[in-house]
Every structure is written in structure tokens, then in C-alpha cells.
Amino acid sequence: MKFLLDTDHISILQKHSGPEYVALMTRIARVRRGDLVLCIVSFHEQVLGCNTYVAQAKSAADLVRGYRMFDRVLSAFAAAPCCHSIVTLLPFATAWLRNVCELQRWICGSHPLP
């Protein structure tokens, strides 16, 4: 069984502290090697957050902080153990998008239950 670490999970892991980090690491320790996955969408979401911060910067210090955020996100994903067969990075796929759109329609009530 695969376990998807979403953007919230990744943010918790990037902080390296707090009760959520401890709980998540405890849970991850029980997952079989190779069953953790990251999604490229999470990378995109984090980069968008950094981009928003940089775009709204009011000072040089804000710009520096924003670009450091970009660097941390890039470094975290680059260092993700996917290259060591612990975590797989899932690419964006059309089939996945179709499933998400179907789920959204079902949740919003505009699509009948199967």
C-alpha cells in the first residue's frame, strides 16, 4: 500500500520539530520502505507560496527571505529520499486529474454517485 505525503505533511517534515513532526515521523517509521510517495503537485504548491511571498516583498530583507524559502523547498525536494528508494515522486498525470475532477463534482453534488 502506498502512502501519499501531501503538502501539509511535507511542511511538517521540513520544520523538523513539534508534536506533529514527532507523530508523523513515528507513523512514517512504520511504513514499509518504498511505500511513501510525494506528488509533484506538492512541490508546485510550495513554490507558488514562495513566489507569492517574493511578489509581495516590501523590502530587500523580504526578497532575501523569499528566495531563501525557494532554496529550502528546492533543497528539501532534491534531498527527498526518493533517489534512495524510500520515497517515490509521483508525476502529474492526466488520469489523476480526471479522478480529482470527478471527485470534486461528486463532492459538490453535480455528479451522481456510481
Mean per-residue pLDDT over the chain, rounded: 79
Q: Residue 114 falls within a domain, yes or no? A: no
Number of domains in the chain: 1
* CA gap 57, 78 in Å, rounded: 26
Convert the pLDDT of each residue in 64-98 to its tens digit: 899 999 888 888 877 765 544 445 666 666 666 66
- The reported pTM is 0.64
pLDDT tier for residue 40 given thresholds of 50, 70 and 90: confident
Q: Which three cell numbers stand for residue 29?
A: 517509521
Q: Which structural domain, as residue segments, surrounds residue 46?
A: 3-108
Q: Residue 90 falls within a domain, yes or no? A: yes
Which string of b and e fits 28-49 if b means at least 16 CB within 10 Å? beeeeeeebebbebbbebbeeb
Closest residue by Cα to residue 42 from 13, 64, 84 = 13
Give the domain CATH number at 18.
3.40.50
What pLDDT score was predicted for residue 18?
Answer: 92
Convert the pLDDT of each residue in 98-108 to its tens digit: 666 666 666 66
Q: Which H/E stretch holds residue 4?
A: strand 3-5
Closest residue by Cα to residue 48 from 63, 60, 66, 21 = 66
What pLDDT score was predicted for residue 112?
Answer: 52
